[in-house]
Amino acid sequence: VVTYTTMLDCLYKNGNKEEGKDIISEMKSRGIQPNLVTYTTMVRGVCESGNMEEVEGILYEMKSRGLYPDLVLYTTMIRGLFQIGNTEEAERIFFEMKSRGIFPDVVTYTAMINGFLRSGNKEKATSIVCEMESNEVSPNLFTYNVLIHGLIHTGNMEKAKAIFCEMKRRGISPDVVTFNTMISGFLSFDLWEGAKEIVCEMSALGIQPSVVTFIVLTGKLIRKGRFSQVDQLLRFMMEKDESPD
RNA sequence: ACUAGGAUCCAUUCUC
């Protein structure tokens, strides 16, 4: 099972849905039954293509074999549902898991917050943050990244800065994703000074810029017609051995 | 500790 599940995971991650199906039928024909991990992998793969009926089918098959979703599968489903824009169903599943006595962890809460923020439900996102606090689940790096991203996209750069400070105060070190998000925020509000400062802070902390960092920077600079700076960035990127793909 | 599965950043296409 482990071998098959691992293969399936790789196939899905490379967008190879058809071969995934072959693997599933092959394992079944060899009398190897999928387990919870296999089903979760399947659900995640199927969610990418937004096919809810297929997900239903998987859940049905599980039930008929006496298997029920666990924490990880619920979280996977929640993410998938938000991805296809089915907020109500995501909420329903979140409720269902709790009523089954499965307690959401940081990952689940972060997925909920992210989903609500992206679907424009700021109040609901906030209430999840409260729920999380009252259940004594602490936000982690991912949670902060999601929050910062959401604040920037709702036009609240000041609040984003505040949260950025809060995370540091609470001993959570921002990573390259945090910085990319912050840089992108500053640039989209034309806050050049702020962008500069944050880039300095990033390098002072020894955090290496990623390909995304360069994409963010060049994208905004090009839009502003600052081609000489773009040129500098590209040279710098080559020196760092980053392929500008 | 890691040890098959879950959450976070980005551009180019199409439309305006």
What ipTM does the predicted assembly reach? 0.69
Nucleotides on chain B that have an atom closer than 7 A to a protein CB are: 4-12
Q: Which residue is nearest to nucleotide B9 (CA to C1')?
A: A177
For residue A72, which nucleotide's C1' is closest to its Cα? B6
| CB proximity A12–strand B (7 Å threshold) | no
pLDDT of residue A222: 76
Contacts for A102-107 with beta carbons within 8 Å, 24 or more apart?
A102/A70, A102/A71, A102/A74, A103/A71, A103/A135, A104/A71, A104/A75, A104/A132, A104/A135, A104/A137, A105/A71, A105/A137, A106/A132, A106/A137, A106/A138, A106/A139, A106/A140, A106/A142, A106/A143, A107/A75, A107/A142
| CB proximity A37–strand B (7 Å threshold) | yes
pLDDT of residue A227: 66
pLDDT of residue A11: 85
| CB proximity A223–strand B (7 Å threshold) | no
Digit-coded pLDDT (tens) for A144-158: 999 999 999 999 999
Parts of chain A with a pLDDT under 50? none
For residue A212, which nucleotide's C1' is closest to its Cα? B10
